[in-house]
Amino acid sequence: MAETQQGTHNKRAIVTGGTRGIGRAIVKELASGSYRGVLFSDIAFIYNSCDECAEELKNEINFPNVKIHSFKSDAASFEQTQATVNEILKKLGGVDILINNAGITKDNLLLRMTEKDFDDVIATNLKSVFNCTKAVVKSMVSQRYGRIINISSVVGLIGNAGQSNYSASKAGIIGFTKSMARELASRGITVNAVAPGFIQTDMTSKLNEEQINKLVQNVPMSRLGKPEDVAKVVAFLCSNDADYITGQVIAVDGGMTM
């Protein structure tokens, strides 16, 4: 098997939702190669908006051996995703790692939630995982190697009032992860999910101090997590040290769901 497939060097990764929050931290963590010498030759991130954020991120990453590529696309669109991933595969010559991170929230109590609120969240958070996985899996099966890491959420495990759409999408990711793990294990492809708790991102930055204090009351470690806390777990799952881990959901939540 070629070094690009089984070794720790020259991995090629795709990260969706890569310009902000957790996705941004993942791109930077993978580029740094800080976990056990896992080195990347190419990291492509897919984003839907904020061209400035994409350029800023590319400029922030200054590792001469890593090429960073940005692709603007709507991960919720099957057609756009197929076209974008095909372009990435052609440019990179294949892909070793897919990190499905794209996500939005449109919170409301069910009595006030619109059909569009529900459909938009399901499409961006859950259907995008199908779209991207479908687009890369043939390439991974052909090389008999791959790592797929899906970013779920603790609310996919325990639910949350006012987030029925978001919770449903993140619970769906867990079911999809376990099914894909069973389908792809014999092809040398592992599929796992990471379930972040309350993390310091754009989503939580909208909360006031009182709301944040209320949130952390449910967290044994009494603080919000950082995007880097999630990114380091993702980097581990990309490494050869995680060769025998598949179909798992790893909560990064300060003990919230234990």
Q: Is 244 a catalytic residue?
A: no
Sign of CA dihedral 110, 116, 121, 122: positive
200 vs 148: CA distance, rounded Å: 24
Question: How many CB atoms neighbour CB 58 within 10 A?
Answer: 17
12 vs 28: CA distance, rounded Å: 14
Tell me how many degrees the CA angle 243-230-49 measures, rounded to the nearest 5: 110
Q: Is 59 exposed, middle or buried (0-12, 13-18, 19+ CB in 10 A)?
A: exposed
Q: Name the active-site residue from 35, 47, 145, 166.
A: 166
Q: CB under 8 Å to 243, separation ≥6 — which residues?
A: 190
User: Could you tell me which of 6, 26, 14, 19 has the C-alpha nearest to residue 229?
Assistant: 26
Contact 120, 106 (CB under 8 A): yes
Contact 207, 215 (CB under 8 A): yes
Reading phi first (left if > 0) and then psi (alpha if -120 to 50, else beta), residue 159 is in left
Q: Give me the active site residues, please.
A: 166
